[in-house]
């Protein structure tokens, strides 16, 4: 595959171990969770895991062959395309880990918005 993605802070092809989405599913890569605060305090692994689980943005890596093909469900066309950063529901999709990177498989109608700067978007704690 020739798709490129920020994967563990390096630009490289999509890992051949990641699943290829079927039907109307798409594969998103989640941004890496910070290991320390801005002040240099270590964030415990359990908290990092919680943050990954609740992530609300991801980068579209691959799309199944049926994504956005149903004109009745998507009369205005696709919500996003490969390479876009998108907003999804916290805890949404099927979570998988490959090579230390978290990915989500999510249906095409699970996209809530496109995002220009994923680092600017975060969840409201307690929401």
From first to last of its 127 residues, the chain has per-residue pLDDT tens of: 333 333 344 444 567 788 899 999 999 998 766 666 677 776 666 655 555 545 688 899 999 999 999 999 999 999 999 999 998 887 788 989 888 888 999 999 999 999 888 777 766 555 4
Q: Are 100 and 9 in contact (CB under 8 A)?
A: no
Ordered structural domains, the chain, with CATH: 4-118 (2.30.33.40)
57 closest CA partner among 25, 22, 84: 84
92 closest CA partner among 73, 74, 107: 107
At residue 109, what are phi and psi to the nearest 5 degrees? Answer: -85, 5
pTM (predicted TM-score): 0.72
């Amino acid at each position: 595959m020739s798709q490129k993605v920020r994967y563990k802070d390096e630009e490289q092809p999509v890992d051949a171990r990641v699943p290829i989405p079927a039907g109307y599913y798409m594969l998103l890569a989640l941004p890496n969770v910070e290991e320390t605060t801005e002040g240099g305090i270590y964030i415990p692994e359990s908290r990092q895991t919680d943050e990954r689980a609740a992530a609300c943005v991801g980068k579209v890596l691959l799309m199944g062959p049926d994504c956005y093909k149903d004109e009745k469900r998507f009369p205005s066309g696709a919500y996003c395309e490969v390479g876009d950063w998108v907003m999804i529901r916290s805890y949404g999709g099927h979570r998988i880990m490959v090579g230390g990177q978290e990915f989500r498989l999510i249906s095409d109608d699970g996209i809530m918005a496109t995002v220009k700067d994923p680092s600017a978007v975060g969840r409201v704690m307690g929401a």
